Chain A
Amino acid sequence: MKEQFQSPIVLLGSRLLSPYIMLFGWYVIIHGHYSPGGGFQGGALLAASVLLIRVAGGTRLSSLQLREVINTPMATLGVAIYFLTGVVAVLAGGFFLDYGQLPIPGLEAAWLRYYGILIIEVGIGLTVMAILIMIYDNMVKGEDHA
C-alpha cells in the first residue's frame, strides 16, 4: 500500500465518490421505514465512505475529514441515544423501550412508535460507523498508507 496508491487519479476518484456514498448511507437510515435498510446497513455505508478516503488519502489527509479521537465518543453517543430512549420511556410510565410512552406532545401512540424507531436507528448507525472506523484505525496506526 505504500507505493501502489500514490496515484492522484485514485485520490480524485475516491474524493468524488465519497460524498455520494455518505448521502446514500443517511438515506438508507432515514428511509428505512419504507425500503430495505436500517441502522446497521446505513452505518456500514457511512463507514465505507470514510474508509474510502482513509485508504486512498492516507493518515494526514483523512485526519482533516474525521479525526481518530472522535471515534470513541461517537460510538458511546450511539449507545447512549438508544439506552436513553428506553429510559425516557420508563420515566414516562411505560416499559423499557416502549416507544408509545415517549413524552412528545400531540402525537398518538402509533406515530410515537414511528419516531421512536427512527431515533434508535440513528443511534445504531452512529455506533456501527464509529466502530468500523475504529477497527480500521487501530489496525493501520503507526504506518502511513498512501
Chain B
Amino acid sequence: MFWELELVIYIFLLISAIVALEVDDLLVAVVMMTIFSFLMALLFVAMGAIDVGFTEAVIGAGVTGILFVVVVYQTSRKTND
C-alpha cells in the first residue's frame, strides 16, 4: 500500500478524533466516531488484516452508531462542559 494514502487516512483520523472530542452536539460526536471507525477499518485493510477491518466496519460503523444514536436521543443532546 502507498504510504501517501495511509498518511492522508491518518490525518483524517486525527481530525475526526479531535472533532469528536471537542464538539458540543453529541450527535455530531457520534457521527464523527463512526467516521473514525470506518477510517480505522480502512487502515486495517491497508495493513493486510482484512477480517479485522471487516469486523470493525460492520460493528464500529454500523451497529454501534445505531446504539449511540438511541442513547443520545434518550438522554440529552448537548454536553455540559
Indicate if the CB atoms of B50 and A36 lie closer than 8 Å.
yes
Q: B59 within 8 Å of A by Cβ?
A: yes
Indicate if the CB atoms of B74 and A41 lie closer than 8 Å.
no
Q: B7 within 8 Å of A by Cβ?
A: no
User: How does the 8 Å CB contact mask read for A22-35 relative to B, with 1 for contact and 0 for none?
Assistant: 00000000000000
User: How does the 8 Å CB contact mask read for A46-85 relative to B, with 1 for contact and 0 for none?
Assistant: 0110010001000000000000000000000000000000
Q: B63 within 8 Å of A by Cβ?
A: yes
Residues on B with C-beta less than 8 A from A55 are 66, 69-70
User: How does the 8 Å CB contact mask read for B57-70 relative to A, with 1 for contact and 0 for none?
Assistant: 01100110011011
Indicate if the CB atoms of A36 and B54 lie closer than 8 Å.
yes
Indicate if the CB atoms of B51 and A38 lie closer than 8 Å.
yes
| Interface stretch (choices A97-105, A107-115, A117-125, A133-141) | A133-141
Indicate if the CB atoms of B66 and A1 lie closer than 8 Å.
no
**Shortest beta-carbon distance from A25 to chain B in Å:** 9
Q: B2 within 8 Å of A by Cβ?
A: no
Indicate if the CB atoms of B62 and A36 lie closer than 8 Å.
no
For the complex, give the distance between the alpha carbons of A145 and B69 in Å.
Answer: 12
Q: B55 within 8 Å of A by Cβ?
A: yes
Q: B3 within 8 Å of A by Cβ?
A: no
Q: Known contacts being A41-B55, A48-B58, is A132 close to B63, with CB within 8 Å?
A: yes
Indicate if the CB atoms of A44 and B51 lie closer than 8 Å.
no
Indicate if the CB atoms of B63 and A47 lie closer than 8 Å.
yes
Residues on A with C-beta less than 8 A from B67 are 135-136, 139
Residues of A whose CB lies within 8 Å of any CB of B are: 1, 36-38, 40-41, 44-45, 47-48, 51, 55, 132, 135-136, 139-140, 143, 145
Q: Would you give 22 A-B contacts (Cβ < 8 Å), ordered by A?
A: A1-B70, A37-B51, A38-B51, A40-B55, A41-B54, A44-B58, A44-B59, A44-B62, A44-B63, A45-B58, A48-B58, A48-B63, A51-B63, A51-B66, A55-B70, A132-B63, A136-B66, A136-B67, A139-B67, A139-B74, A140-B74, A143-B74
Pick the 6 closest A-B CB pairs, nearest first: A1-B73, A36-B50, A44-B58, A48-B62, A36-B51, A51-B66
